[in-house]
Amino acid sequence: MQQLEALTREARALASGEAVLTRYESEVSRQLQICNACRYCEGFCAVFPAMTRRLEFGKADIHYLANLCHNCGACLHACQYAPPHEFAVNVPQAMARVRGQSYADYAWPPALGALYQRNGLTLSLALAAGLALFLLLAVALQGTLLHAPLAGNFYAIFPHNLLVSMFAPVFIFAALALGLGVRKFWREVSPGHVSGAAMAEAASDSLRLKYLGGGHGEGCNEADDAFTLWRRRFHHLTFYGFMLCFAATCVATLYHYLLKWPAPYSFNSVPVLLGSAGGIGLLIGPAGLLWLNLRRHPQHGDAAQQPMDRGFIALLFFTSLSGLALLLWRDSAAMAVLLALHLGVVMALFATLPYGKFAHGVFRCAALLKWAIEKRQPSRLKLGSD
Ligand code: SF4
Ligand code: SF4
């Protein structure tokens, strides 16, 4: 029966010139047809009210809804049609599979989209270790790895201009690849007019991680039917930790170029205070996310993407750990070794940003903005809560 429906949909899509749905997209479409008749989960998140504005689900709709889903698990644990029921409705898992595929579909350049499937824990750690080893060898060739304390002057090991020429191209490429990828997604989902109110609402929903509240504010389901806010808290520690570290780098750049104050900076300077606070957040957040990831209910999300999730979490954790270690022992004989390790991990993090888990934040923000715009437009169907 399901095969017949899929073939009918495919024939209709081919006749109308629409893009043919993949197996995972067809599965989302099937489940959303059931949800559209049921609507029990309407208040859980933005996915269900967005769904009720549609009777049929094309490729772009499915990509939009998949990226709007935060994989909180609430609709799976509430669903009377979840496995082992014959309807086998598992919205978070179906959405996660399409979401993972959509990152690859929108990747820029397209040929690198396949990296999403390969970007796992082993590759992330091997890349970080390889880059760190390369830098350690570069330092060793210049003299000795262990040296007399240099009062934290890491430019004595790697000159400032060399660091800029190493990191700026990688960072710019990562920003460009992600920007062009999300632009393709944005064009495909035909978002409509972007108002200031929609922008403000989407920014608020993103920054508060509103939809990790499970719809009732008590949080997600993780290992079982119990609600927990820990996923939201660990995400916040990770995200704001990352932003504080980024702010520390920006302030240090201003100091260097505008005020002509080169590093190192004292422990009570603005860059070090921002970087230390961010580093602690970026240590606790990823550790907590890994702990949750390891005990996640097996029916949540897409198990095939766990290596990618864990690879990104590991790089964030080791970036912070190596950065804090470098700060603590910067005035010791081990500074060159710690610096090479830290730079290797940071370089691996930047290099994998556009083709790893980081993409979920960018695409989800775009989907939240689309929803903030769409909910302000009159529904063509006049069904559901809106
Ligand atoms: S997930 Fe289940 S309970 Fe929720 S709307 Fe869909 S069919 Fe209904
Ligand atoms: S898993 Fe959570 S965010 Fe995703 S559709 Fe279900 S309730 Fe909404």
Tens digit of each residue's pLDDT (9 = 90 or more) over 238-267: 999 999 999 999 999 999 999 999 999 999
Cα(80) to centroid(ligand 1), Å: 7
pLDDT-derived band at 166, boundaries 50, 70, 90: very high
What tokens does 131 get? 């880059």
- Report the 10 Å Cβ neighbour count for 225: 10
Determine contact, residues 238/316, Cβ cutoff 8 Å: yes
DSSP assignment string, 229-276: SHHHHHHHHHHHHHHHHHHHHHHHHHHHHTS--PSP--TTSHHHHHHH
The CB of 116 under 6 Å from ligand 2? The reply is no
Residue nearest to atom 3 of ligand 1 (CA): 79
- CA 248 to mean position of chain CA atoms: 21
Provide the CB-side half-sphere exposure for 315 (13 A, CA): 32
Cα(285) to centroid(ligand 2), Å: 22
- The confidence score (pLDDT) of residue 3 equals 54
Residue 228's DSSP bridge partners are: 220
Residue nearest to atom 7 of ligand 1 (CA): 35
Q: Please state the atom number of ligand 1 nearest to the C-alpha of residue 76.
A: 1
User: ω into residue 84 within 30 of 0, thus cis?
Assistant: yes
- In angstroms, what CA-CA distances link 317 with 236, 293, 340, 372, 381? 14, 14, 16, 33, 47
Cα(40) to centroid(ligand 1), Å: 6
Predicted TM-score of the model (pTM): 0.90
- The least confident of 15-24, 86-95, 109-118, 124-133 is 15-24
- The confidence score (pLDDT) of residue 15 equals 56
Mean pLDDT to the nearest integer, 355-384: 89
- The confidence score (pLDDT) of residue 10 equals 56
What tokens does 66 get? 């998949």
Residue 293 and residue 356: Cα distance in Å, rounded? Answer: 16
What tokens does 259 get? 């005020």
SS3 228: strand
The alpha carbon dihedral of 172, 174, 178, 181 has a sign of: positive
Helices (H), 52-151: 59-68, 74-78, 91-106, 115-118, 121-142
Mean pLDDT to the nearest integer, 292-312: 92
The CB of 282 under 6 Å from ligand 2? The reply is no
What tokens does 348 get? 């691996």
- The least confident of 6-20, 62-76, 308-322 is 6-20
- The confidence score (pLDDT) of residue 19 equals 72
Residue labelled with tokens 């997600």: 220
pLDDT-derived band at 215, boundaries 50, 70, 90: confident
What tokens does 213 get? 């509240």
Give the H/E segment covering residue 222. Answer: none
Determine contact, residues 317/280, Cβ cutoff 8 Å: no
Question: Ligand 1 pocket by C-beta < 6 Å: which residues?
Answer: 34-35, 38-41, 75, 78-81, 89, 91
Determine contact, residues 214/220, Cβ cutoff 8 Å: yes
Pocket test for ligand 2, best of 31, 95, 98 (most atoms within 8 A of CB): 95
Mean pLDDT rounded to a whole number for the chain: 91
- Report the 10 Å Cβ neighbour count for 64: 27
What tokens does 104 get? 């690859």
Considering every ligand atom shown, identify the ligand nearest to the alpha carbon of residue 212 and give its number: 2
CA-based nearest residue to 131, from 119, 123, 141 = 123
Q: Is the pLDDT of residue 6 over 60?
A: no
What phi and psi, each to the nearest 5 degrees, are found at residue 173? -65, -45
Mean pLDDT to the nearest integer, 53-60: 94
The alpha carbon dihedral of 241, 357, 323, 167 has a sign of: negative
Mean pLDDT to the nearest integer, 308-319: 96
Residue nearest to atom 5 of ligand 2 (CA): 69
Pocket test for ligand 1, best of 29, 31, 35, 57 (most atoms within 8 A of CB): 35
Residue nearest to atom 4 of ligand 2 (CA): 69
What tokens does 25 get? 């997209």
pLDDT-derived band at 208, boundaries 50, 70, 90: very high
